[in-house]
Structure 1
């Protein structure tokens, strides 16, 4: 096997991960004559429920604040355990239990529990990330941090030092890696790496930085990819924007020295393609856009190897992108492609994307090695996509300004969903040959 274990740190990352797990659940096939191209053992673990039935649950550890889990329970329908706290207590006196009013389940979750077709979700119906979650989690995966409360106005969890101090106090008391992560690692036969989803513009950035230090102490050579999620900052007061920028800067600086690859994710401030409808005030919508790119960019890490499909892993892709060994921050882009020819539409995502079609601006994105690549913002030969999730506005990278700084692409991985033609063109073969002979210094493009 080549297992990947996921860490989810904070509310923003849990929205993103919920979309990710729902997508993985959609790949399951139940017919005898059907076989999914996805190897489910990469992200899911077998187990035994409380009634002796077999279970199949995500290999993930989920951290969130008090109130952040919504209606999600630590003990679910597959692990119903009658635990009488009074009977197992060493206290001989009378106990008084006080409970907060439970959060009411959403109509979507009620329909899933009843085995009925769920209603269509809306931005108003999604209050928590658990409102649209479709998978069961193992009780060990749920870790609530009760020291802070979600959306608290008294002590908001938004400053870097809060995350650092919270991790230090919890790790000193429990040893978080031994308690939470190690059981999943020991279950893996041949772990290919860890993927960490975390907020980087709030206190979770400090929490993630200290967590990464511990990970590197324990798993020094294991590939670790970090997806750093950021909330839209447009319309926020100046003080809040400054706090977020400081948190992001510190997170990128510290994670850069610890992670194998860091991929920041931010909603572009520039207009999105007209074919895309998105509510920037909805975490459910914004995280869905991030998840579409992340799912496509990492799909090769969980594919079954066949005569038509090549499955890679996190370590190989890190080597392809980190050309000089110290370039650990990567950029993620995507396009929703409309076919130039009258064929069924397909979605193209992540880390780059390529097809002989049109992107959301009506530009041709085909020909990874040809002269059709736009020079606005990158070099020739690089596929240009129309949704940049790296927040280039922070670096003032404006491709439309004559004197604006232009980024330099060292290496690009293109993930094209739906295209069956994987043979390189004659022009691509010629460029590869010239590059191998040192006749042309072009960026490396991997398809």
Structure 2
């Protein structure tokens, strides 16, 4: 077996990843359907490459993505960071008393499951009841209408887990402590530069990745989906550097993704220059740790590369042959922006 480990870094990357895993889950269902179209029963398609087989504490066999998801704290919505298949343990306080003073507990309000997630839970319960009643199905007392579910998904999605059909392993979900969903200024390379190394976050993330790698027979590679429009870009770059050091000969395929808000027109020339610098530094670092980088939905990056290519063609190949191409791009862009600043 030549397994692949998937890593999703950043909010928009996890939204895209949720669609990806929903599609894989749908393919699994169609392939397992005895009355399904034969086109979905492809013998050469081995889902074990990106999925893993495990067992819950109750002895139930699980089939979950070989995935590590990294996002803001509070980004999982109604889903626990321990997943939905495994016991979450007791939340009751310990009987061991080590402090005799006043104790004040502050807890964030729990998110409620939307209608889509409720319908999935109801469907699983109905299947369990059907199996327990020798195949005799029973109608649910509180059936959720499809129209309500569609309206919920069209108007009420706030978290990427709100439309996720997939069960996740506890090691798959990592929330970066101290980074909350309502942070507005986590939008450039400098802000996220030290996030990976602070508070042992890097060790925790690497331990989670190591869990999936060590259970592989022969890992084929990593596929990264990275939201590189803001502070998650340096976090991903530092993580990739650690991966390249620990798994030297394991290739990395990286998808660089950005949400629609990252393409909005900037109000000042300074903001434009800062954004261009972010794009250049981000592309330079990320591309240096992967075999291939695939921009997804990045018209701004496409324009930047066209501009950089125009400047790069003016550089003598013999004089700069010792430089890596992204480094040339970065140098050209910095020179171009310095000239733009002097004209201001």
Fold in common (TM above 0.5) = yes
Distance verdict in 2 for CA 1:261–1:235, change over 3 Å: same
Aligned length: 276
- Relative contact order, higher structure (CA 8 A, sep 6+): 2
2:256 maps to 228
Query: Matches of 2:122 and 2:186 in 1, distance apart?
Result: 36
Does 2:113 align with 1:105?
yes
Q: Tell me, what secondary structure is at the counterpart of 1:136?
A: coil
Distance verdict in 2 for CA 1:54–1:257, change over 3 Å: same
**Structure-2-length-normalised TM-score:** 0.72
Distance verdict in 2 for CA 1:13–1:241, change over 3 Å: farther
Query: Matches of 1:52 and 1:36 in 2, distance apart?
Result: 30
Alpha-carbon offset, residue 179 of structure 1: 1.8
Q: Could you list the per-position Cα deviations for residues 167-195 of structure 1 after superposition, in whole angstroms to 9, with x for gaps in the alignment? A: 01144x66235421101001111110001
2:16 maps to 16
**Structure-1-length-normalised TM-score:** 0.56
Counterparts of 1:229-244 in structure 2, within 5 Å, are: 229-232=257-260, 233-238=263-268, 240-244=271-275
Does 2:199 align with 1:150?
no
Q: Is the 8 A contact 1:201 1:245 kept in 2?
A: no
Q: Is the 8 A contact 2:52 2:64 kept in 1?
A: yes
Q: Is the 8 A contact 2:81 2:175 kept in 1?
A: no
Distance verdict in 2 for CA 1:135–1:241, change over 3 Å: farther
1:161 maps to 190
Does 2:159 align with 1:128?
yes
Query: Matches of 1:193 and 1:89 in 2, distance apart?
Result: 46
Distance verdict in 2 for CA 1:240–1:65, change over 3 Å: farther
Query: Matches of 1:10 and 1:240 in 2, distance apart?
Result: 22
Q: Is the 8 A contact 1:65 1:149 kept in 2?
A: yes
Alpha-carbon offset, residue 164 of structure 1: 2.0
Distance verdict in 2 for CA 1:36–1:83, change over 3 Å: farther
Alpha-carbon offset, residue 226 of structure 1: 1.1
RMSD after superposition: 2.8
Q: Structure 1 regions of 5+ residues with no counterpart?
A: 270-390, 398-402, 407-447
Counterparts of 1:170-181 in structure 2, within 5 Å, are: 170-171=199-200, 175-176=203-204, 178-181=206-209
Q: Is the 8 A contact 2:74 2:180 kept in 1?
A: yes
Distance verdict in 2 for CA 1:145–1:40, change over 3 Å: same
1:393 maps to 303
Alpha-carbon offset, residue 103 of structure 1: 2.1
Alpha-carbon offset, residue 145 of structure 1: 1.0
Query: Matches of 1:103 and 1:224 in 2, distance apart?
Result: 35
Query: Matches of 2:116 and 2:145 in 1, distance apart?
Result: 9
Query: Matches of 2:95 and 2:210 in 1, distance apart?
Result: 27
Q: Structure 2 regions of 5+ residues with no counterpart?
A: 124-143, 314-344
Alpha-carbon offset, residue 50 of structure 1: 2.1
Q: Could you list the per-position Cα deviations for residues 136-186 of structure 1 after superposition, in whole angstroms to 9, with x for gaps in the alignment? A: 101111111121212324xx2122123221101144x66235421101001
